[in-house]
Amino acid sequence: MERSRPAKPVSVKDVAANSGVSFQTTSKVLNGKGSVSEQTRKRILSAATDLGYVPNILARSLVTRSTQAVGVVASNFSDPNLSRFIVGAEQEARRQGHAVIIASIEPDGTGGHRAVRALIERRVDGIVLADPPANEDARYARLMKHQIPIVSLHDVPGGGLLTVGSDHVQTGLLATRHLTDLGHHRIGTITGPHGGRVAQSRLRGYRQALGEAGLADDLTLVEESDWQISGGFEATRRLLSRRPDLTAIFTQNDTMAIGVLSALHTLGKDVPEACAVVGCDDIEMAAYTVPALTTVRVPFYEAGAEAIRLLLKMIASGSSGLRGTLLPVQLIARESSGAG
C-alpha cells in the first residue's frame, strides 16, 4: 500500500473531502475554534490522523502575518559562549512555540546585512542579534527601518536596540579585585581586540580594581589579543617577555586563558605559584583545565533565554515600554588563582 514518490502532502481539503465537510470547517476543528458537533469533530480528527495530515505553517503564516519563528544572527557558532547563548535562546523559543532560523555572518564580521535581509524575507517575527558590531552603525540603522523587533546581545552604537547582556565592567572588576585581594601587585591583562566594547569595558573594570588597590595603571601591563586560544598563547609570550616580573594575569575570556595556561606550561612557570591566572565567562572547560581555572561566570545560557523572552514580549506588545536586561556576574574561585 505504499504510495508512489511524488505524493504531495495532504492538505486540509483532502481531510475535508474525506469526512464530508467543507475545508473551512475542517480548519476550525483542527484549530479548536468555532463550534462543531462532537460527531463531525471526531470524524474530521480521525480522517486527519488517518491521512497523516500535517498543517502547512507557511500558508497559515501568510494569512495570520506571523510565522512563529525568530531569527538568530551569530558570528561564530563554535564559540562556547555564543553557543550557550544560542542554546538558551533556542530552548526558550521552543518552549514558547517558536522555531529558530539561524543566519551566520562571515568570520570577518561582514554579511550581517545579508543575514538580516534573509531573515526578513522569511518573515521572522523578530531577530536576536549575537553579532558583536564592529561599530558599523550604518548597517544597523538601515535595517532598523524595517521595524522588525530586535534584541541584541551587545550594545549597538547608534542603534537604540534592546540589549540583554551582562555588566562587563563589573566582570573585569571582580576578576582583578580577586587578584589584588590575594596580594598581587604586578597584574598583567590580556584583552580582546581594543575596538570592541566588551574588551573596553572589561579593561575599565580591571583598571578600577587596580585603582582601588592603589596600584599604578601601567600600559606595559596590557596586551591585546583576539579571544582565541592561540591568541592567548601568543599574547602571554609577548606580555611576559616585556614584563617577566608579573605574578598574575587577568585574561578577558576563558578561551584565551586556556592558551595562557598552555603558554605558561611551556615556559615552565607553575600556576598559580609562579603566576596566577583568572579568566572570564566560566565556559564548561574552565573547571577542567590543569589547573582548574578561576573565572567570572557570565550567564550566557540565561541571556539567550532572556533575549527570547524579551523579544516575544516586544512582538506581543508592539515594542512598547520595555527595558533591556543586565544579568549578574559572579566570581568562581578555583586553583589557577591559588584560592580554589
**What DSSP designation does 290 have?**
S
Whether cis (ω within 30° of 0) applies to the bond prior to 272 is yes
Query: Which residue's C-alpha cell is 512582538?
Result: 315
Cβ 250 vs Cβ 217: under 8 Å: no
Examine residue 46 and tell whether it contacts DNA (CB under 7 A): no
For a copy of itself, the closer of residues 234 and 306 by Cβ is 234
**What DSSP designation does 185 have?**
S
Cβ 336 vs Cβ 291: under 8 Å: yes
Cβ 23 vs Cβ 13: under 8 Å: yes
For DNA, the closer of residues 46 and 56 by Cβ is 56
* Residue 200, binding choice from DNA, a copy of itself, none, Cβ under 5 to 8 Å by partner class: none
For the beta sheet containing 222-224, the strands, ordered from the edge strand earlier in sequence to the opposite edge, are 222-224, 187-191, 248-251, 276-278
Whether cis (ω within 30° of 0) applies to the bond prior to 299 is no
Count of positions on this chain that bind DNA (CB under 7 A)? 33
Contact segment (CB under 7 A) with DNA among 33-41, 94-102, 110-118, 176-184 equals 33-41
Examine residue 36 and tell whether it contacts DNA (CB under 7 A): yes
* Residue 229, binding choice from DNA, a copy of itself, none, Cβ under 5 to 8 Å by partner class: a copy of itself
Examine residue 78 and tell whether it contacts DNA (CB under 7 A): no
For a copy of itself, the closer of residues 124 and 210 by Cβ is 124
User: What residues between 58 and 97 interact with a copy of itself by CB under 8 A?
Assistant: 58-59, 61-62, 65, 67, 69, 77-78, 80, 83-84, 86-87, 90-91, 94
**CA gap 267, 273 in Å, rounded:** 14
**What DSSP designation does 281 have?**
B
* Residue 143, binding choice from DNA, a copy of itself, none, Cβ under 5 to 8 Å by partner class: none
List the grid coordinates of 36.
462543531
Examine residue 216 and tell whether it contacts a copy of itself (CB under 8 A): no
**Contacts with 98 (C-beta within 8 Å, 6 or more apart), sequence order:** 68, 69, 70, 125, 308, 312
For a copy of itself, the closer of residues 73 and 329 by Cβ is 73
Examine residue 24 and tell whether it contacts DNA (CB under 7 A): yes
SS3 6: coil
Question: What sign does the dihedral 320-169-166-300 (CA atoms) show?
Answer: positive
Element (H, E) at 224: strand 222-224
Q: What's the min distance (Å) between Cβ of 50 and a copy of itself?
A: 13
Examine residue 45 and tell whether it contacts a copy of itself (CB under 8 A): no
Examine residue 288 and tell whether it contacts a copy of itself (CB under 8 A): yes
* Residue 39, binding choice from DNA, a copy of itself, none, Cβ under 5 to 8 Å by partner class: DNA
Q: What residues line the site for a copy of itself (CB under 8 A)?
A: 3, 5, 7-9, 52, 54-59, 61-62, 65, 67, 69, 77-78, 80, 83-84, 86-87, 90-91, 94, 99-104, 117-118, 120-123, 145-147, 229-230, 233, 258-259, 261-262, 265, 284-285, 287-292, 318
